[in-house]
Structure 1
Amino acid sequence: MAAAIQQRLAHTRCMYLNSPAMVAGLRSQLYATGTDVEYELGRGALVLVADDLHLVDGRFDVDRMIDMLEAAVQTALAAGFAGLFATGDMTWEFGSEKELSKLLEYEWRLEQLFHEQPALSGICQYHRDLLPHEAVREGLVSHAGLFINDTVSRLNPHYVLARSLDERKTAAIAGLDDALSVLLAVAV
């Protein structure tokens, strides 16, 4: 993820949302790639988020997260950046309860926000070892692009442009399991 962030820092505000340990790890990776982390933080190009303000009583709140991202895009533009690149670990974002029932709604609304706010881009990180298979499958149909690792990303042939949440739910079908297995094998 450090390479993806480093590539964008010149013109785009980059927001990384994850646990304190993962934020510290990314900071180290950025330093290792030659990024002046303190400088980028100081000028507002890099935003590292390790708090849980997007949770309500320890539970993921879709509205709060979408509102936070929408405001962050506007703030980035007002500060003179070309846009906002946001990335977060879906396991961490959903809080200690790991309440994933809102995942599909969030991903659908986030994709809508990507269309409404062209200055917003991002990567939702799905760790196959930490999330249920169904959650990873739902993520697969939710976004037009796939970022597999720092060297492999591609257009997502399994993406379903859905006009409603119900339409998205029907898209996350078991037939995607074979495709998901192939993608996960590429990521190793």
Structure 2
Amino acid sequence: MDIVRHQCLVYEGSPAKHLRGLAAVTIAKLKDNNRCLYLNSPPMVAGMRSYLAAAGLDVAEAVRQGALVLSSSQNHIVNGAFDVDNMLDMLEAAVKQALKDGYRGLWATGDMTWELGPKNGLGNLIAYECGLEDLFHQYPSLSGICQYHIDTLPPSAVDKALRTHRSVYINEMLSRLNPFYGVDDAPAPVESADTHKEMVGWLRAQEC
């Protein structure tokens, strides 16, 4: 599998600082005839809409055509809890529909804090990422970036993110092979505080 198709963005500070870069990637994917899905909270969706427009995209027209989907839907949340199967089924249906509609594929990016829901379904995170990896293998037309906000997630979530993604998105011009990748379907080991600090330190170094 092309390692850059399934990436993670793990970051500190304001999520808005990455909107410009993600907007640039979105526009590039649209130009390459991909349907693009952006899933996040209502304020972040509004922010992405603004950055896309500032970059020259006719957002209303792209949405009208179905090429661009900006969503705050949490239909995969059941009784406040993150439902892995619902989320994976939704993504599989979305990539199938994109192909049926004549697109080259589906590119999706979403914020994991928003996706996990109010009960913060971290217990299902490894199962979700492993299931997602299977989807990427099954559908070469699927690509995307999972966003992990260090400030809103516990250290274990950040560690799991880096264990389950081969490639790390740094910005619209730069991705890195992930030296921490290497988890399978078995439960992830408990990460030590030193390991977590090493991971975060590596991420900070990539942004310099």
By the TM > 0.5 criterion, same fold?
Answer: yes
1:55 aligned to 60, 77, 80, which one? 77
1:116 CA drift (Å)? 1.0
Letter in 2 for 1:86: A
| Residues 162 and 180 in structure 2, CA contact (< 8 A), matched pair in contact too | yes
Match runs of 1:22-171 below 5 Å: 22-160=44-182, 162=184, 165-166=185-186, 169-170=188-189
1:136 CA drift (Å)? 0.6
| Residues 36 and 67 in structure 2, CA contact (< 8 A), matched pair in contact too | yes
1:158 CA drift (Å)? 2.1
Q: In 2, distance between residues paired with 1:161 and 1:93?
A: 21
Structure 1-normalised TM-score? 0.91
Q: In 2, distance between residues paired with 1:79 and 1:30?
A: 23
1:176 CA drift (Å)? 4.0
| 1:181 partnered with 2:201 | yes
| Residues 81 and 117 in structure 2, CA contact (< 8 A), matched pair in contact too | yes
- Aligned-residue RMSD, C-alpha: 1.7
Structure 2, unaligned runs of 5 or more: 1-21
Aligned length: 184
Q: In 2, distance between residues paired with 1:116 and 1:154?
A: 23
Structure 2-normalised TM-score? 0.83
Q: In 2, distance between residues paired with 1:55 and 1:70?
A: 17
Q: In 1, distance between residues paired with 2:205 and 2:153?
A: 16
Q: In 2, distance between residues paired with 1:159 and 1:75?
A: 31
1:130 CA drift (Å)? 1.0
Q: Greater relative contact order: 1 or 2 (C-alpha under 8 angstroms, separation 6 or more)?
A: 2
1:115 CA drift (Å)? 0.8
The runs of at least 4 aligned residues of structure 1 exceeding 4 Å deviation read none
Structure 1, unaligned runs of 5 or more: none
Note closer, same or farther for the CA distance 1:187–1:98 as it changes in structure 2 (3 Å cut): farther
User: Which deviates more, 146-155 or 14-23?
Assistant: 146-155
Note closer, same or farther for the CA distance 1:112–1:176 as it changes in structure 2 (3 Å cut): farther
1:50-99 deviation line (CA, Å, top 9, x unaligned): 12111111111000000000000000000000100011000000111222
